[in-house]
Amino acid sequence: MGPALGGGDDGAERLPEMAKIWSMPIGPETADFLLSSEPWTRYRTRRDLLGEARGSDAVATDRVAMLEHPLVAQLVADVGDWPGPVIERHDKPRW
């Protein structure tokens, strides 16, 4: 079995190759495509791929749009106070 089929490869030897791929700059066409998408895609594109500062106007605008988006608001409402009460220690739950 090869690595893709569960042959014991934990991916550690591929990390340098993957880091090199992810550190490649994206092209303007790709950036434009991602920036024309949903607010969470725009926010992560600006922060992670384009390296824009957290305090920039565009990043702040996309972050607010992401947090105010109906799908995100519904997700937050569905999650509620998950995961519930905080436990003191892993071997001493409250309940």
Would you call 80 helix, strand, or coil by DSSP? coil
Per residue in 71-85, pLDDT (tens digit) is 999 988 888 777 766
Would you call 92 helix, strand, or coil by DSSP? strand
The whole-model pTM stands at 0.61
- Spatial CB neighbours of 28, under 8 Å, sequence gap ≥ 6: none
Higher pLDDT, 79 or 60: 60
Domain ranges in the chain?
25-81
Helix or strand run (H / E) with residue 1: none
Report CA-CA distances (Å) from 51 to 58, 64, 74, 95: 12, 18, 29, 45
Per residue in 3-43, pLDDT (tens digit) is 444 444 555 666 666 666 666 678 889 999 999 999 999 99
